[in-house]
Structure 1
Amino acid sequence: RNGRYTERGIKEIDGYGAEAWCVEAEYAVRLEPHLDRVGVLMEPTTVVAKAWEQVERVGGRSWFEPRRVLVTGAGPIGLLAALLGTQRGLDVHVLDRVTEGPKPGLVRDLGATYHAKDTEQVVTAVCPDVVIEATGANEPVLAALTGTAPYGVVCLTGVSPAGRRMTVDAGAINREIVLQNDAVVGSVNANLRHYRQAADALAEADLSWLERVITRRVPLERATEAFTPQPDDVKVVVDL
């Protein structure tokens, strides 16, 4: 709360881009051995584990029985948010721009529905009880704020770049949130509890599906190639 925290690879402490490192034992969370090839998905899964926890805690302030979920963005965060939504037995919908490549199949194989249409059209059709926003793009964020069912909960996980301006009807957004008893919450920085939740979620997931989320691996000596996007990229991993 006071900003004086540290976080490996994020704030003031080096990350894990090394073949060997030390960590305090009480911060180590065990992954099931069969996840060794996909264990790198642990950290992004903690992000959505916390997001889902926030949604459920906010919703729990009153009667809350969500059925439909819309995830905006089918990158690693969005796909893992959809995974945790399907594990909760919810009707999950994922919105992204692409129509080709691995993303539509990854969504369908979760038992979720993939959409690549206009954002407002999809939000209106789905009328979600919960939105996990994972793009940070202006249009999906604004559509999420005003497009949920009554008592909807929107969790923003995408980070929007500064300087992108849109003209919005702030009064309409205010009326929608207040009169529908909606809630909007931002989420970042998972803690130890969320790492344990992520480990459980990955252990429950289909291993072959997790392996398909990692679409490209590059060796350490060619690490810079990981930052050049390829058309079918979802999660690119630098192999240490």
Structure 2
Amino acid sequence: MSGRPRSRPGQLAALPAGGLRAGKDEPVRAVTVSPKVPNSLQLTEDWPEPAPEEGAILVEALAVGVCGTDLEIIAGAYGKAPPGQERLVLGHEALGRVLEDPTGTLQAGDLVAGIVRHPDPVPCPNCAVDEWDMCRNGQYTEHGIKALPGFARDRWRVQPKFAVGLDPVLAPVGMLLEPTSVVAKAWDHIERIGRRAEWKPQTVLVTGAGPIGLLAALLATQRGLSVHVLDRATEGPKPELVRSLGATYHATPVGELEFEPDVVVECTGAPVVVLDAMCKAAPTGIVCLTGVSSGGRTIDFDAGALNRALVLENNVVFGSVNANRRHWDLAAEALARADQAWLSSLISRRVPVGAYAEAYTPGPDDIKVVLDFTA
């Protein structure tokens, strides 16, 4: 399509630092689904311009990360279109560049990501104090997931409250902010729980070396901890990505590890791994569950022994999902401090919007696939 700058392989195209580019008046392309209708994914070439009610800040999309949530929505497992609409725009791992911001919060040309979850309208006690990640009544909304249009469209709008400005160095990898916010919250809560007593953790076990696991390991290394990452893969990019962090990679069952971690960040959702991780933690250990199990599978397990261990060793197991504004800001700081080459190596493929279906077709060695709106 005319007016769209081309990018070199593996790199987002450079866009003007300020002002509106010629493509503003071009039709909006959007990747959409009919919620709960399996395999209804399509690219709509003439999607409406984002409504002013969505937010004062107008943003041009640069890229959108693809994750398992998108694939589950495409499969029809869940998803909810905005009120009065039949289709849902996908995309919650956003990276864009500001076109207009009449509020002065950001400047034209700034990199920006949109916070995914918005508070419920009641609001519940947590949403009332901007802790929408801890919503108690489930009436929150989420871009690209539940009742809010996603970011997989050429232009989108965002309210200043939900716009996170990014360091320019993050132009190639800023779509990693959303998954990083999830682990920034996990670490925030781990550290809050740790302050219940004298606590000086040294060893961390991360189970799962997908994007969440690798980013959890990154934030652990930034804390100066001894980091171990466990995954089933023995080939492909995962082992080297872990070693490049200065962490230790394991491809053995949790029970065969020869150490007891002070902290476990569980990122697989696999029931056996979850239970083994809970049993493996050191005394006063903290286990954070970020992976979501699919359910429907039963395994034999000595629940009494687990209860005894948790009680007598003062261990804590808790779940964590989503993130509030504070965690998004922490995530932006963590990414800006990280080795940018390492972050770029997490991105397995950058797929042009015109070939959108390829982005939502998993490859065997994929870590993070990105839908590129600049190509």
Q: Is the 8 A contact 1:119 1:139 kept in 2?
A: no
Shift, 1:126, TM fit:
2.6
Task: Choose from 366, 370, 373 the match for 1:233.
Answer: 366
Any residues of structure 2 matched to 1:89-238 within 5 Å, and which?
89-122=224-257, 125-238=258-371
Whichever residue aligns with residue 172 of structure 2, its letter is R
Whichever residue aligns with residue 196 of structure 1, its letter is D
How high is the sequence identity, in percent, across the aligned residues? 60
- The 2-side partners of 1:235 and 1:196 are apart by 21
Q: Is the 8 A contact 1:156 1:185 kept in 2?
A: yes
| 1:64-83 Cα deviation digits (max 9, x unpaired) | 11100000000000000000
Task: Choose from 16, 34, 47 the match for 2:169.
Answer: 34
| 1:175-196 Cα deviation digits (max 9, x unpaired) | 0111110001100120100100
Residue 217 of structure 2 corresponds to 82
Shift, 1:15, TM fit:
1.4
Whichever residue aligns with residue 151 of structure 1, its letter is T
Larger proportion of helix: 1
Whichever residue aligns with residue 209 of structure 1, its letter is W
Whichever residue aligns with residue 230 of structure 2, its letter is L
Shift, 1:28, TM fit:
1.2
Residue 65 of structure 1 corresponds to 200
Any residues of structure 2 matched to 1:51-62 within 5 Å, and which?
51-62=186-197
Shift, 1:7, TM fit:
1.9
- The 1-side partners of 2:159 and 2:361 are apart by 34
Whichever residue aligns with residue 189 of structure 2, its letter is Q
SS at match of 2:158: coil
- The 2-side partners of 1:165 and 1:41 are apart by 34
| 1:100-131 Cα deviation digits (max 9, x unpaired) | 11111110011100001122112xx1310000
CA RMSD of aligned residues (A): 0.9
Q: Is the 8 A contact 1:74 1:103 kept in 2?
A: yes
Shift, 1:8, TM fit:
1.4
Shift, 1:31, TM fit:
0.8
- The 1-side partners of 2:314 and 2:197 are apart by 10
Larger proportion of strand: 2
Q: Number of residue pairs matched?
A: 238
Shift, 1:56, TM fit:
0.6
Shift, 1:10, TM fit:
2.8
Whichever residue aligns with residue 142 of structure 1, its letter is L
Q: Is the 8 A contact 1:215 1:236 kept in 2?
A: yes
Any residues of structure 2 matched to 1:5-24 within 5 Å, and which?
5-24=140-159
Whichever residue aligns with residue 30 of structure 1, its letter is G
- The 2-side partners of 1:231 and 1:16 are apart by 26
Whichever residue aligns with residue 306 of structure 2, its letter is I
- The 1-side partners of 2:145 and 2:309 are apart by 35
TM-score (norm 2): 0.62
- The 2-side partners of 1:126 and 1:218 are apart by 41
Q: Is the 8 A contact 1:70 1:126 kept in 2?
A: no
Which gives a bigger RCO, structure 1 or 2 (Cα 8 Å, sep 6+)?
1
Shift, 1:197, TM fit:
0.4
Larger Rg: 2
Whichever residue aligns with residue 23 of structure 1, its letter is V
Unpaired runs of 5+ in structure 1? none
